[in-house]
Amino acid sequence: MEATPGDIVKYLKRIPLWIGLLALLAVIFEFGFDLTPFILSLLPWIYMSAIIAGLISLAGRHIFIKHRPVRNILIYDMLLAVYLAGIIGGLAGLEHMSFFYNRFLIYSGVFLVLIREFSYLQYSRMLQYLNPFQLFVTTYSAIIVSGTILLMLPNATYTGISLTDALFTSTSAFCITGLVVVDTGTYFTTFGQVIILVLIQLGGIGIMTFTSFFAYFFTGSSTYGSQLLLKDMTASEKIAEVFSTVKIIILFTLIIEAAGALFIYLSLDKQVISSIQERIYFSVFHSVSGFCSAGFTTLSDSLYDTAFRFNYSLHLIIALLFVVGGLGFPLVYNFFKYLQHYLINRILKQRALHVPWVINMNTRIVFITTLVLLAGGTFLFYILEYDNTLAVHEGSGKVITAFFSAATPRSAGFNTVDTSALMLPALMLVIFLMWIGAAPGSTGGGIKVTSFAVAVMNVVSIARGKDRIEVFGREVSGESVRRAFAVILLSVVTIGLSVFLITVLDKDMEILPVVFECFSAYSTVGLSMGITGDLSDAGKLIIIFNMFTGRIGMLVILQALLRDVRHLNYRYPAESILT
């Protein structure tokens, strides 16, 4: 079968993308391997080829009307073209453009070209072959495997890393868990730590959220299938709100992480970290890790490190970061809509469409349940550990440490006390908080606060003799109740099976640390009683499975495997079952 002119044009349009991917591989090789001078001399030519191809593609899409982007992208593309032209001039050795011969500028140019070309790919075409859940699982798996390969590069670690440990670290980072089998600060080089940081950021916001944002930004449109997929991922109420939600998620994340990095930087003691560059790196790493509830840190003992153990301002900043990250992007978007509504109707007093229910039921339940868990957890931890792990703290230090220790089990993973030294009642409290986790659509894991709240409200409704759940003048849908109990049951089954398998495979392990580890992994928390590195390879694989299913959701994996696209346009006669 001969190729048509249309097919040839389609393949030609993909050339800049393939050259850009080649340039990305060159960047990875440059950092990941110790290359010979000859190979190093070839890399600038590869970078120049990618940037030239990107510039030609950029110009071509504006010249040909059929492929011309939307008008509001024209200014951005003009600035990008000037930037790319400057990098080409710098690589070509032009004296008046020598400023652009900078490694960071060159790498950023390659990255911008790739982003620009990727924006024209429609992943929604894959929905012809995969349902949304299968696409979600496949994408997560592909990123984790890619992260594993990158972490195994020679220059990513100081002494090398095994396949199992690299897979464990990649899964923990991308699933924003925080469990580690090797010390992040001393085992990985700066290149390896940056890989972990990128995985954390992609896992926190979501790789599809990133790609969909850039695709919509550059093209100004999207397929209906893509919008439906994003509606489920972002928990948007309407398809029309999908991309406004995505934009707010991206913007909100960057603003919070930038503010967090600034405050962390100001809280650091210059005598502990003397170098400005090291303080900046420390601040950015822990701000991203904190907001994404990842729990990764460059400190060997997390925030329990002797130099940071009593830095209460640092503890509060990081605690606020993961508390906000754990509230969930749907709540943030709903709060944004409320501020917008309040500004128009109350402050500007302009006539606008009346909205009787701006703060929806999901936001109210998440906020109230989170507040109760934080307050109750802080109080109980303060009482239970007053003369134990809190004994070294005084006054407000005890309260702050108790608050941090009650907030971090809800998917953060940082610790300011020795977790293995906690008394049994406090350990049970931490396990309970880990199991509940954070809000849906957030950077946290667990069964989610909404599932827990729905289960509690369902028990109360049955006890009162009601046949439905009513709250805030609204009725909770039957689908929400069924989903909540499915999530709870699957979590218990998965964690229970994992504990059973690890105790069989690692017979020397005590049961309590294993239970703690499995709850932590499934809830993507990252706290540990110190047994993670001592697990066998089989035990580590079980924990990897827990982190993966905990982040994606066991229910999503089952839907990816068992989803039937047929609609149930019928009903059988109903009968009651004794319970």
The strand ranges marked E within 302-393 are: none
Q: Is the dihedral of CA 139, 141, 142, 148 positive or negative?
A: positive
Nearest-10 Cα torsion for 91, 95, 97, 103: 40
Q: What is the pLDDT of residue 72?
A: 59
- In terms of C-beta density within 10 A (0-12 exposed, 13-18 middle, 19 or more buried), how is residue 561 classed? exposed
**What value does the mean pLDDT take over residues 430-439?**
92
**What value does the mean pLDDT take over residues 445-449?**
88
Q: What is the pLDDT of residue 224?
A: 43
For 470, list phi and psi in degrees, rounded to 5: -120, 130
Distance CA 50, CA 16 (A): 7
User: Lowest-confidence range among 58-62, 434-438, 480-484, 539-543?
Assistant: 58-62
Q: Is the pLDDT of residue 131 over 80?
A: no
Answer yes or no: are the C-beta atoms of 546 and 494 closer than 8 Å: yes
For 475, list phi and psi in degrees, rounded to 5: -105, 130
Q: Is the dihedral of CA 552, 553, 559, 562 positive or negative?
A: positive
Distance CA 164, CA 180 (A): 12
Give residues with Cβ within 8 angstroms of 94, minimum separation 6.
none
Distance CA 526, CA 293 (A): 9
Give Cα 101 distance to the centre of its chain.
34
pLDDT tens sequence across 314-373:
999 999 998 988 887 778 777 777 777 777 666 666 655 555 566 788 888 888 999 999
Q: What is the pLDDT of residue 259?
A: 95
Q: What is the pLDDT of residue 378?
A: 95
Chain position carrying tokens 């109420």: 237
Q: Is the pLDDT of residue 244 over 70?
A: no
Q: What is the pLDDT of residue 563?
A: 63
Answer yes or no: are the C-beta atoms of 450 and 365 closer than 8 Å: yes
Answer yes or no: are the C-beta atoms of 229 and 309 closer than 8 Å: no
Distance CA 122, CA 106 (A): 27
Query: Shortest CA distance to 480 belongs to which of 507, 461, 497?
Result: 461
404 — pLDDT class (breaks 50, 70, 90)? very high
Highest mean pLDDT among 28-42, 127-141, 201-215, 224-238: 28-42
Q: Is the pLDDT of residue 120 over 70?
A: no
Distance CA 361, CA 326 (A): 17
Helix (H, G, I), strand (E, B) or coil at 162: coil
Q: What is the pLDDT of residue 220?
A: 47
Answer yes or no: are the C-beta atoms of 440 and 328 closer than 8 Å: yes
**What value does the mean pLDDT take over residues 178-184?**
91
- In terms of C-beta density within 10 A (0-12 exposed, 13-18 middle, 19 or more buried), how is residue 524 classed? buried
Q: Is the pLDDT of residue 156 over 60?
A: yes
200 — pLDDT class (breaks 50, 70, 90)? very high
Amino acid at 12: L
Mean confidence (pLDDT) of the chain: 82
Give residues with Cβ within 8 angstroms of 194, minimum separation 6.
none
Q: What is the pLDDT of residue 445?
A: 83
Highest mean pLDDT among 261-265, 296-300, 481-485: 261-265
Chain position carrying tokens 């960057």: 254
More confident residue, 30 or 355: 30
The strand ranges marked E within 65-213 are: none
502 — pLDDT class (breaks 50, 70, 90)? very high
Q: What is the pLDDT of residue 274?
A: 86
**What value does the mean pLDDT take over residues 464-487?**
86
Q: What is the pLDDT of residue 94?
A: 74
Q: Is the pLDDT of residue 450 over 80?
A: yes
Give residues with Cβ within 8 angstroms of 397, minimum separation 6.
310, 312
Answer yes or no: are the C-beta atoms of 89 and 30 closer than 8 Å: no
Q: Is the pLDDT of residue 222 over 60?
A: no
Q: What is the pLDDT of residue 300?
A: 86
Helix (H) or strand (E) holding 471: strand 470-471
| This prediction's pTM | 0.86
**What value does the mean pLDDT take over residues 131-160?**
88
Give residues with Cβ within 8 angstroms of 260, minimum separation 6.
283, 287, 290, 291, 317, 318, 320, 321
Answer yes or no: are the C-beta atoms of 467 and 383 closer than 8 Å: no
- Record the tokens describing residue 212, joined without a space: 């969909």
- Record the tokens describing residue 30, joined without a space: 């440059």
User: Lowest-confidence range among 165-174, 248-257, 276-285, 426-435?
Assistant: 248-257
- Structural domain spans, the chain: 5-120
Q: Is the pLDDT of residue 533 over 80?
A: yes
Beta bridge partners of 471: 474
The strand ranges marked E within 30-185 are: none
Q: What is the pLDDT of residue 124?
A: 53
Amino acid at 69: P
pLDDT > 70 in the chain, percent: 82
Query: Shortest CA distance to 290 belongs to which of 261, 248, 249, 329?
Result: 261
Distance CA 449, CA 447 (A): 7
Q: Is the pLDDT of residue 168 over 70?
A: yes
Q: Is the pLDDT of residue 504 over 50?
A: yes
